[in-house]
Amino acid sequence: MMRTILFPILLFILFAGCQSRQAMKSRAPVGQAVPLSFCAPKTVVLDTEPGPDGSLTPLFWGLTDHFSYPVSTGSKKAQKFFDQGLMLAYGFNHAEAARSFREAARLDPECAMAYWGLAYVLGPNYNAGMDPNTLPHALEAIEAARARMHNCTAKEQLLINTIAKRYPKSKDEDPQPYYQAYADALKAAHRQYPDDLDLAAMTAEALMDMHPWDLWEKDGTAKAWTPEIIDLIEGTLAKDPRHPQAIHLYVHATEASGNPERAIPYAKTLERLVPGSGHLVHMPSHTNINTGQYHEGTLANERAVKIDSMYVETCHEGGIYPLAYYPHNWHFLAACAALEGRGNRALEASRYMADYVVDQKLMYEPEMATLQHYYTIPWNIMVKFAMWDEILAEKKPDDGLPYLKAIWEYARGMAYCGKGNLDAASQSLKILKTLETDTTIAKMTIWEINKATDIVRIARYVLEGEMAYRQGKLPESIRLLKQAVDYEDQLNYNEPPDWFFSVRHPLGHVLLEAGQYREAENVFRKDLEEYKENGWALMGLYQSLAKQHGRSADANAILKRYKNAWQWADIKLGSSVVMN
C-alpha cells in the first residue's frame, strides 16, 4: 500500500483529528463479540470516552477466532482484548489496537503485557514513521509495563525490556539508533525463543521498519538487508503457513521483487484468514496485481471495502485508517478492475472513493495535498476507457487545487483529441504546461513516494503525443510517448502505480499504426513484464505478431491468453487502447 518513510501529519491526526466521532446509543456488554456494524464510542486513542459500563471498545467479529497469544492475566476478557489488539496491529489499525490494549489494562490493571501492547502500537510501522508527540505516551506505557513485570513470565519480561530499547528519552534525539537496538534485541529474543512465531514476525517487522518500502532495486534485485528479512519470514511460514502477520509481511516483502509469485499460496490463504480485518483481507491484492491475477485482486478489495465501510461508517473512526487505508482499498479495487477491462466497475469504485471516502476539506491543507491524487483517479479511468463525454461533463476543480486542475486539463485534452477537437485540446495542453511548473505542485508528493510534478509531466507528454497522433504526425507522437515512458519508468514503486496506467499501451498502438510491428512487439512484451497478463498489452502483442510474417502461431497463442485475461471485461479491444 502506501509507501512513506515518515507520516508525521497522519500520526498527528491519529491523536488530534478524531474529534468528530459520534457515540452509539447502545453498546454490547464487555467481552461480547460484535460485528463490525456495531462499535463503541471513541474519541482518540489516548482519550477514549468510556461506555456506560466503563468499557473503551467492544470485541469485534472475525479477528481472533483462530488466534491467541497467551499472556499473564487472570482475566479471560483481558486476554481476549489483548489478542484483539495484537491482531488489529497486524492489520495496521493501530488506533483501534491501542484502544483494545487499553481495555485489556482496564479489565486487568496488573496485566503488564497490555501496556507492552500499547507501547508497541504507538511506535513506527512499515507505512508510518513515529510522530515525536506520541513519544511520552509510549514511554509512559513502558514504565507501566515494567512496574508490573513481577507478574510476568521470563519471556514477557524479555519482550518488555526489548520494547524499552525502541524509544529515545527525548523527541529531540535521533530515533534510528534506538530502532536498530530494538531490532537487534528482537533478533536475540527470537534466537532464545525460536518457536514463538509472533515474536519471529515482530522481529521481521522491526527489520522491515528500518527500511520501509526499500527492499528491492528497480530491477528486482534485493537490497543488502533484504535476504535476512525474507529468510526470517519464510522460516516462520515454514512452521505455520497460516500465520496472519507473517503472510502480511511476506506479501509486502516480495511485492516489488523479481518473483512476487512466491507469495501466491500465502496470499490465497490470507483472503479469508482474518475476515474481520479489512486491511488483511485487502492484502492479497498486492500479490494479485503483481502477478496478473487482477480479477482476484478486484474480489479481494470488494470484500475489504465492505468490511471497512461498516467499520468506518458505524464507528465514526478517525485518524490514519479511514484517511489512508480505507480509500486505498477503493483505489486498489479501481486499479484491478481497470486492468481486467472492467471500466464501469473501475469508474464506480473510483467515484465512490473520490466523492465519499476522501476527506475533500483536507485536500486544501498543504500537508495533506497528497489526498488530491485519489480524486484524480476517476479522470484517469475515463481516459483509459475513452469516456470522452463523461470527462467533458466533469466540473472544473478549484484554483486552490492545482494538481487536480492539471490532471483535469489532461483528461479534457485527451477527450477533445478523442472527439476531434484539436484546437480545444491545444488549449488544455497550454494550461497543462503552465501547471507543470506550478510551485505548489512542486512541493506536493504522492505519499512521499513520487513527486506530483513528475505525474503532471507524464500527463503533458501523453497529451502532446496523443495530439501528434491525431494530427497524423506518427514519428513525433512516438518520440513524445517514448519520453513519457522514460519518465514513467523512473517513478518509484507504489501500488497501485501513481501513473494510472501504462504509457506503453498508447505507445504500442501508435507503433502499430506506423507499421513498426517488431518494435511494438517489444513494447508490449516489456509492458507484460511490468503488468503481467494484462489484456491491454496482450491484445497489442497479438496485433503486432499477427501483422508479422510467419508469426501467426505465436499470435494465436497470445490471443488465447488475451481471452483468458479479458473474460470479465465489459469492453472489447481491437488494439492496446480503446478505439473511440
The C-alpha cell that represents 130 in the structure block = 513515529
Measured in degrees and rounded to the nearest 5, phi and psi for residue 451 equal -80, 135
Strands 445-446 and 450-451: antiparallel
The C-alpha cell that represents 225 in the structure block = 538487508
Mean pLDDT, the chain, integer = 91
pLDDT attached to residue 501: 85
Residue 414 has pLDDT above 90, yes or no: yes
d(CA 538, CA 536): 6
Q: CA 185 → CA 140, 151, 360, 427, 566, distances in Å?
A: 20, 22, 43, 60, 50
Confidence of residue 365 (pLDDT cuts 50, 70, 90): confident
101-115, 126-140, 429-443, 528-542 — which is least confidently predicted? 126-140
d(CA 448, CA 76): 43
d(CA 164, CA 149): 13
Q: Which of 40-44, 141-145, 352-356 has the highest mean pLDDT?
A: 141-145
104-113, 357-366, 407-416, 554-563 — which is least confidently predicted? 357-366
Contact predicate 199/207, CB 8 Å: no
Residue 43 has pLDDT above 50, yes or no: no
Right CATH for 8-349 from 3.30.9.10, 1.10.10.60, 1.25.40.10, 1.10.600.10: 1.25.40.10
pLDDT attached to residue 355: 87
Query: Which comes out higher in pLDDT, residue 579 or 339?
Result: 339
Q: Closest by alpha carbon to 577, among 459, 414, 460, 457? A: 414
pLDDT attached to residue 231: 99
CA angle 228, 231, 235 (to 5 degrees): 140
Contact predicate 297/337, CB 8 Å: no
Residue 47 has pLDDT above 70, yes or no: no
Residue 18 has pLDDT above 70, yes or no: no
Kindly report whether the peptide bond that precedes residue 496 is cis, defined as omega within 30 degrees of 0: yes
Mean pLDDT to the nearest integer, 264-271 = 98
pLDDT attached to residue 30: 32
The per-residue pLDDT for range 88-123, each reduced to its tens digit, is: 999 999 999 999 999 999 999 999 999 999 999 999
Residue 460 has pLDDT above 60, yes or no: yes
pLDDT attached to residue 45: 46
Q: Where are the beta strands (DSSP E) in 407-459?
A: 445-446, 450-451
The per-residue pLDDT for range 498-523, each reduced to its tens digit, is: 998 899 999 999 999 999 999 999 99
Mean pLDDT to the nearest integer, 196-213 = 98
Residues of the chain above pLDDT 90, percent: 81
Residue 21 has pLDDT above 70, yes or no: no
Residue 230 has pLDDT above 50, yes or no: yes
HSE toward the beta carbon, residue 281, CA cutoff 13 A: 23
Mean pLDDT to the nearest integer, 33-52 = 44
Residue 22 has pLDDT above 90, yes or no: no
Mean pLDDT to the nearest integer, 333-354 = 97
Sign of CA dihedral 134, 135, 141, 144: negative
Confidence of residue 48 (pLDDT cuts 50, 70, 90): low
Kindly report whether the peptide bond that precedes residue 501 is cis, defined as omega within 30 degrees of 0: yes
Contact predicate 121/86, CB 8 Å: no
- Output the 3-class SS for 489-518: HHCCCCCCCCCCCCCHHHHHHHHHHCCCHH
Q: Closest by alpha carbon to 300, among 324, 343, 335? A: 335
Q: Closest by alpha carbon to 94, among 85, 106, 103, 83? A: 85
pLDDT attached to residue 296: 98
pLDDT attached to residue 9: 35
CA angle 369, 375, 379 (to 5 degrees): 135
pLDDT attached to residue 39: 37
d(CA 410, CA 223): 37
Query: Which comes out higher in pLDDT, residue 39 or 206?
Result: 206
13-27, 85-99, 269-283, 529-543 — which is least confidently predicted? 13-27
Residue 360 has pLDDT above 90, yes or no: no
Residue 557 has pLDDT above 90, yes or no: yes
578: number of Cβ within 10 Å: 20
188-192, 216-220, 521-525 — which is least confidently predicted? 216-220
Residue spans of the domains in the chain: they are 8-349, 362-501
67: number of Cβ within 10 Å: 18
pLDDT attached to residue 34: 37
What DSSP line would sit under 289-310, residue for residue?
HHTT-HHHHHHHHHHHHHHHHH
Contact predicate 290/532, CB 8 Å: yes
pLDDT attached to residue 317: 65
